[in-house]
Amino acid sequence: MPGKFALAFPILSLGLLVLATPLEQHEVAPGLIEDPLKGTSNPIPQLIKDILAGVKSAVANNAESKKPLICEDACCVWWNVSEKLTAEFRETTGECNDNARAAIRFGFHDAGSWDEKSTHGGADGSLMMDFGEIDRPENNGLQSIRTLLRSVQSTYNVSYADLAQYAHNHATVTCPRGPRLMVFVGRKDAKKAAPKGLLPDVHDSADNLIALFQRKGISTHDLAALLGAHSSAKQRFVDETKANFSLDTTPGVWDTKFYNDTLQDPKDRPTIFQLPSDKVLSVHSEVKDSWRSFIGQGKFWGEAYGKAYLRVSLLGVKNFNHLVDCTETLPLFRANATVP
Ligand code: HEM
Ligand SMILES: *[C@@H]1O[C@H](CO)[C@@H](O)[C@H](O)[C@H]1NC(C)=O
Ligand SMILES: *[C@@H]1O[C@H](CO)[C@@H](O)[C@H](O)[C@H]1NC(C)=O
Ligand SMILES: *[C@@H]1O[C@H](CO)[C@@H](O)[C@H](O)[C@H]1NC(C)=O
Ligand SMILES: *[C@@H]1O[C@H](CO)[C@@H](O)[C@H](O)[C@H]1NC(C)=O
Ligand SMILES: *[C@@H]1O[C@H](CO)[C@@H](O)[C@H](O)[C@H]1NC(C)=O
- Quick check: helix, strand or coil at residue 291? helix
Q: What are phi and psi of 20, to 5 degrees?
A: -65, -40
DSSP 1: -
Q: Ligand 5: distance of its center to the CA of 260 in Å?
A: 6
Who contacts 198 (Cβ-Cβ below 8 Å, separation ≥6)? 112, 113, 114, 115, 118, 121, 212, 216
Give residue-wise pLDDT tens across range 150-165. Answer: 999 999 999 999 999 9
Contact 210, 290 (CB under 8 A): no
Task: State the Cα–Cα distance between residues 133 and 80, nearest whole angstrom.
Answer: 28
- Asked whether residue 101 carries a pLDDT value surpassing 60, the answer given is yes
pLDDT of residue 40: 83
Domains of the chain: residue spans and CATH = 27-59+73-329 (1.10.520.10)
- Asked whether residue 6 carries a pLDDT value surpassing 60, the answer given is no
Q: How confident is the model at residue 29 (pLDDT cuts 50, 70, 90)?
A: low
pLDDT of residue 162: 98
pLDDT of residue 340: 55
The residue annotated as part of the active site, out of 26, 109, 170, 284, is 109
The verdict on the CB of residue 244 being under 6 Å from ligand 4 is yes
Q: How confident is the model at residue 3 (pLDDT cuts 50, 70, 90)?
A: very low
Q: Ligand 6: distance of its center to the CA of 336 in Å?
A: 6
230 is in an annotated binding site: yes
Name which of 115, 112, 117, 104 is nearest 29 in CA terms.
117
The verdict on the CB of residue 332 being under 6 Å from ligand 4 is no
- Asked whether residue 4 carries a pLDDT value surpassing 80, the answer given is no
Please tell me the least confidently modeled range out of 16-20, 54-58, 104-108, 181-185.
16-20
Task: State the Cα–Cα distance between residues 70 and 111, nearest whole angstrom.
Answer: 33
Q: Ligand 6: distance of its center to the CA of 275 in Å?
A: 31
How does strand 245-246 pair with strand 324-325?
Answer: unpaired
Q: Within its chain, how far is the Cα of 118 from the centroid?
A: 18
Q: Ligand 5: distance of its center to the CA of 293 in Å?
A: 14
CB under 6 Å to ligand 5: residues?
260, 264, 295-296
Of the chain, the percentage scoring pLDDT greater than 70 comes to: 91
Name which of 285, 315, 326 is nearest 60 in CA terms.
326
Would you call 109 a catalytic residue per the annotation? yes
> Helix H segments across the chain?
2-18, 34-38, 43-52, 76-89, 98-112, 143-156, 160-174, 206-214, 220-227, 257-263, 276-282, 288-293, 298-313
pLDDT of residue 65: 80
Contact 182, 58 (CB under 8 A): yes
The verdict on the CB of residue 339 being under 6 Å from ligand 6 is yes
Task: State the Cα–Cα distance between residues 81 and 159, nearest whole angstrom.
Answer: 12
Q: Does 31 or 207 have the greater pLDDT score?
A: 207
Q: How confident is the model at residue 336 (pLDDT cuts 50, 70, 90)?
A: confident
Q: Which of 95, 234, 238, 244 to mutate to test the pocket of ligand 4 (most atoms within 8 A of CB)?
A: 244
Residue 155: beta bridge partners? none
Q: Residue 236 CA: which ligand 4 atom is closest?
A: 1
The verdict on the CB of residue 338 being under 6 Å from ligand 6 is yes
Q: Ligand 3: distance of its center to the CA of 157 in Å?
A: 6
Contact 314, 182 (CB under 8 A): no
- Asked whether residue 7 carries a pLDDT value surpassing 50, the answer given is no
Please tell me the least confidently modeled range out of 64-68, 86-90, 257-261.
64-68
- Residue 295 CA: which ligand is closest? 5
Q: Which of 65, 80, 154 to mutate to test the pocket of ligand 2 (most atoms within 8 A of CB)?
A: 80
- Quick check: helix, strand or coil at residue 325? strand
Q: Residue 156 CA: which ligand 2 atom is closest?
A: 13
DSSP 203: T
C-alpha distances (whole Å) from 96 to each of 65, 89, 178, 235, 268 are 20, 6, 10, 16, 25
250 is in an annotated binding site: yes
Q: How far apart are the first and last CA of the chain?
A: 51
pLDDT of residue 36: 86
Contact 61, 182 (CB under 8 A): no
Give residue-wise pLDDT tens across range 74-84. Answer: 999 999 999 99
pLDDT of residue 28: 54
- Asked whether residue 114 carries a pLDDT value surpassing 60, the answer given is yes
pLDDT of residue 30: 78
Q: Residue 338 CA: which ligand 6 atom is closest?
A: 1
Give residue-wise pLDDT tens across range 202-251. Answer: 999 999 999 999 999 999 999 999 999 999 999 999 999 999 999 999 99
Q: What is the pTM assigned to this prediction?
A: 0.92
- Residue 158 CA: which ligand is closest? 3
Q: Within its chain, how far is the Cα of 162 from the centroid?
A: 11
- Asked whether residue 13 carries a pLDDT value surpassing 50, the answer given is no
Q: Ligand 4: distance of its center to the CA of 244 in Å?
A: 6
Of the chain, the percentage scoring pLDDT greater than 90 comes to: 84
The verdict on the CB of residue 71 being under 6 Å from ligand 2 is no
pLDDT of residue 57: 98
Contact 255, 231 (CB under 8 A): yes
